[in-house]
Amino acid sequence: MKHIALNAIHTLFAIVLLLFAYVQFNDPDPFVWVTFYTICALVPLSLIVNRYHHYLLWVAAGLCLLHLGIAGPGIYDYLMHHLNQSIIQDMSPERPYIEESREFLGTVIALVLMAISVVLARKKFF
C-alpha cells in the first residue's frame, strides 16, 4: 500500500510539472520554460519507474537555482515596491517584475515538488 501511495504522489507531482510545461507554450520564451519544467518532471517520473539517478536531480536543482538567481531581482523589486499590484495581471515591458515574480514562484514550486519526491523515496534509493 505504501508503494501505491508513493507512486500516486510522484505521479501527481509529475503531472503538475508537465502541466506547468504545457502552459509555457504561450510564453515569450517557451523553449526555456517547457524544457525546464519537463526536466523537473523527470525527477518524480524516474522515481515511479525505478530509474532514479542522482545526476538528474542535480541537473534539475541546478537549473532551479539558475532560474531563481535570474528571477530573484524581479521578485525582490515586486516585494519591496509593488506589493499592491497583482502578479496575475497582464505582462508589460513597463512591469518586468510581474513576469519575473511568476517565474520565481513557479521555480520554487518545481524545486519543492522535486525535493518532496526525493525525500519520500529516500529510503528506497539512498
Domain span at residue 44 reads: 2-125
In Å, how far from its chain's centre is CA 71?
13
The residue among 28 and 47 whose pLDDT is bigger is 47
How many angstroms separate the CA atoms of 21 and 16, rounded?
9
Smallest CA-to-CA distance from 57 within 117, 120, 124, 123 is with 117
What is the tally of structural domains in the chain? 1
Mean pLDDT over each residue of the chain, to the nearest integer: 89
Percent of the chain with pLDDT over 70: 96
What pLDDT band is residue 123 in, cutting at 50, 70 and 90? low
Residue 110 has pLDDT above 90, yes or no: yes
The residue among 42 and 85 whose pLDDT is bigger is 42
Q: What is the sign of the dihedral through the CA atoms of 25, 69, 83 and 96?
A: negative
Q: Residues 85-100: what's their mean pLDDT?
A: 80
Tell me what pLDDT residue 17 has: 98
Tell me what pLDDT residue 23 has: 94
Tell me what pLDDT residue 126 has: 44
